Amino acid sequence: MGIEVIVAGLCLFGGTFFCVTAVIGVLRFPDLYTRLHAATKGVTAGSLLLLSGVAVLEGLGPVVAKIFLIGLFFIATNPIATHAIARAACRERVCIPQAVVDDYREFLDKIKSEQAGSDYPSDRW
């Protein structure tokens, strides 16, 4: 058994571990924001480790280039999508966070009060 198989196995095991812990976090955490955190961190890390394990098993070639592009896609889209979901939830007050200080809410209230007299409210926030 070569070193490649051992490294690939460790990557695949680590990726599976992160994905499973992300699912457990989504099921067990109390509010939307902590669930989003668990899903984003766990799935991103788990997916990248799984892709790395497959890349190590494949060796150099066109498959690894595609795996690299898929990894870049995960890195670019997963945090952005999660941020958009959390921001929309905060704007619409879907889930009130259990945080003591909410600077974003103060910012939103300030923007809404400025736009109250405007004929054409913009979506600056």
Q: So where are the chain's domains?
A: 3-115
Number of other CB atoms surrounding residue 78 within 10 Å: 18
Q: Has this prediction a pTM greater than 0.85?
A: no
User: What are 38-75's pLDDT values in tens digits?
Assistant: 889 888 999 999 999 999 988 888 889 999 999 999 99
Residue 3: exposed, middle, or buried by beta-carbon count in 10 A (0-12, 13-18, 19+)?
exposed
Q: What is the pLDDT of residue 47?
A: 92
